[in-house]
Structure 1
């Protein structure tokens, strides 16, 4: 059984991480089901555990806190106007293939964008979801005993974009970040987008 939980109030990144770990533990000991958390975070920059953290540029001048995390990838931003999804799934019973897991997350978001009339896709050798050279969604996952955690962040409203200007998103120079409502040329709420994203995730992960 797969449950999808929509959290209504923005969480701190630390609270979101603790919640993920709670559901990972429950899945590992058999006391809980696979779970996908859909939420917004309070403003924060995150970065994977890397020696090269140059994508943060100058962390002393950033307007929001920086949290080092155990996902893959360079610096990104989370905050209001962005939908974050944390699929906590048992890859032991699905597929021990992280690349396939990443591609499924991309597929779900690409299909969700299509539901809003936005033609999104992939770019060669670059994880995430794009419209031409504009990045809509970032993806970074981690696993513990083949239980997945972390996941995706898709920019929904224009409110989500300005904090990206202070970093090099995902370590990619020259990348332009965009959001779903800009590409769709209409107002889209995070809750509206979350309903569509849930539908697409359920199609792929059951």
Structure 2
């Protein structure tokens, strides 16, 4: 897999480039992994409901063909776009999503943070009171997100066995724009980054770690 670190790039041209790459690829096209960050932008998934976009203000909103609801991208967030041929890899979409989440969990573990999955809510979450806690989530009671903050989001597209879009890990961001949406369709869901939970690192370090884990797990 060819890893390309794009740096800070506008969202829409990157989205269009992913589409073009996927449409043009053949069974011999090498897989790629793009690592980047975007200027402030809200992106809406195919299932996105307008009422989850509360007050975008001056931040642009881009409609996309990925799965999921509305999310925010901005500086200080590592965005990873795996462009894979799943048929050639030999696993299906459910396994692919599991591996994406596992890469995020292993990346967080490098920083002493325990990432958690929440059933039915793709992405990775951390315990706000104790980000290093390994205690298993007990499952939904009244609020499945009680005591949790979302630190990473997933939104993928698969076309003719080929993947694009991907995942985003919050490193050190201005988190205010997340208050202008219901993140991933969940009203009141708190969004956090590594900085919020006491981890000091750089975008480059987090991107390198996440890229390494994705390379290993998507092989």
Q: C-alpha root-mean-square deviation of aligned residues, in Å?
A: 1.6
- CA shift, 1:110, in A, is 0.4
The CA deviation string for residues 15-50 of structure 1, in whole angstroms up to 9 with x for no partner, is: 1112212332443363x3100100001111000123
Corresponding residue SS for 1:158:
coil
1:136 is matched with which residue? 151
2:170 is matched with which residue? 155
8 Å CA contact 2:18, 2:164 repeated in 1: yes
The CA deviation string for residues 134-193 of structure 1, in whole angstroms up to 9 with x for no partner, is: 00000010011110000001110033x11111111101012100002222x132111110
1:188 aligns with 2:188: no
TM-score by length of 2: 0.85
Choose the corresponding residue for 2:58, options 63, 74, 77.
Answer: 63
1:179 aligns with 2:193: yes
2:14 is matched with which residue? 16
2:30 is matched with which residue? 33
Corresponding residue SS for 2:63:
strand
**Paired residues, number:** 199
Corresponding residue SS for 1:103:
helix
Report 1:38-187 matches (<5 A): 38-50=35-47, 52-58=49-55, 61-95=56-90, 97-132=92-127, 133-159=148-174, 161-183=175-197, 185-187=198-200
Q: 4+ runs of 1 displaced by more than 4 Å? A: none
8 Å CA contact 1:53, 1:74 repeated in 2: no
More helix by share: 1
- Whole-Å Cα distance in 1 between the matches of residues 166 and 35 of structure 2? 10
- Stretches of structure 2 that go unaligned for 5 or more consecutive residues are 128-147
- Stretches of structure 1 that go unaligned for 5 or more consecutive residues are none
Corresponding residue SS for 2:47:
coil
TM-score by length of 1: 0.90
